[in-house]
Amino acid sequence: MVLPGEIVEPVRVGVRRGLGLAVRRRGDGGVPLLLVHGFPCTSRIWAHNLVPLAEAGFDVVAPDLRGYGDSDVAPDGFYDLNAFNADLTGLFDALGWDSAVVAGHDLGAMVAVDLANRHPDRVRRLVILDDSMPDLGEAFAAAGIPPTRAKPAVYDYQRLQGHHADALVAELATPEQRRRYIGEFYGHRLWCPPDAFDDADLAFLTEPYGDADRLRAAFADYEVVMGTRPLSAPELLDRPVRQPVLVLIGEDQVTLGDHADQRCAIAFPDAVGPFWIKGAGHFLPWERPTIVNRAIRTFCADLL
């Protein structure tokens, strides 16, 4: 993938006392659209989406979550969904937004789901760019959907980042080692096709992770998942999302859970999709930006 001709540079926006987010923005005055990244990404993953979506009529904002990219690390030490969304609602207020369409990828998709449930009046529609969804085990079981199979041993990185984050950061002692570690997620055959990212892509996408503090902050989400880091508030992933939702999933990855289409129908009662994107893996905003941009534009055509 060739880097876009225009890289939208971030600006700092204060969202609460003692914490500012780095924000990339295009299309001021359009329909508010928030793009939320996940791991191992930053707002840079949306580089191919910001300008085209602004040209379509959106006010497009892609922040770095707390601790990621160029944003401040968490002054309170929290990196759970409630903490991320307290920052994002503060960002809404700073931008003068009452509500927005919210698109999320990976961790960002779970942030978006929590935001839709925690602050439903602030989320007009959702766009989910993987198979992330609320965890509705009882409802899934009642519908005859078998539990998702156990993840293979290759997912040991989750245990390592969730239980041994400090030791791992200490082991990755140089910026080059840290960036190489993050780059392996993009190049790993489980996440996406092996040729999805070239050297220039990886140099751009992994640059923020050369900083040890940024890498350590990114591991905090895995500590939350593994139960080794406290929550600022319970995460609201135990209920269906009531807003309209568009779901796009890259087909060429084995990180998907089982029965995503059936689970999606219960978790997102007003869903469009899921639509399976062939030849794409986990990183749809970068791997298939034209499809993502057209899908969001079409999904929100009546708002534009």
Domains of the chain: 11-145+235-303 (3.40.50.1820)
Specify the pLDDT at position 82: 97
Q: Which of 64, 69, 39 is nearest to 221 (CA)?
A: 39
Which secondary-structure segment (H or E) carries 63? strand 58-63
Long-range contacts of 75-80 (CB under 8 A, 24+ apart): 75/18, 75/19, 76/232, 78/230, 78/231, 78/232, 79/217, 79/220, 79/221, 79/223, 79/224, 79/229, 80/224, 80/229, 80/231, 80/232, 80/233, 80/235
What pLDDT sits at residue 153?
52
Pairing of strands 19-26, 58-63: antiparallel
pLDDT at 14: 96
- Tokens read off for 137: 């085990």
**pLDDT of the residue at 282:** 93
- pLDDT (tens digit per residue) in 124-163: 999 999 999 998 999 999 999 988 765 665 568 888 999 9
Phi, psi of 58 (to 5 degrees): -95, 150
Residue pLDDT, tens place only, 248-279: 999 888 767 778 999 999 999 999 999 999 98
Give whole-number Cα distances, 278 to 38, 248, 251, in Å.
21, 11, 5
Q: Which of 187-196, 226-235, 241-250 has the lowest mean pLDDT?
A: 187-196
Does the model's pTM come out above 0.75?
yes
Q: Do residues 36 and 215 lie in contact, with contact meaning Cβ atoms separated by under 8 Å?
A: no
As a whole number of angstroms, the distance between CA 112 and CA 164 comes to 27
Specify whether the CB–CB gap between 71 and 21 falls below 8 A: yes
Average pLDDT over residues 49-64: 98
Per-residue pLDDT at 67 exceeds 70: yes
Residue 156's pLDDT is what?
81
Q: How confident is the model at residue 114 (pLDDT cuts 50, 70, 90)?
A: very high
pLDDT for the residue 34: 98
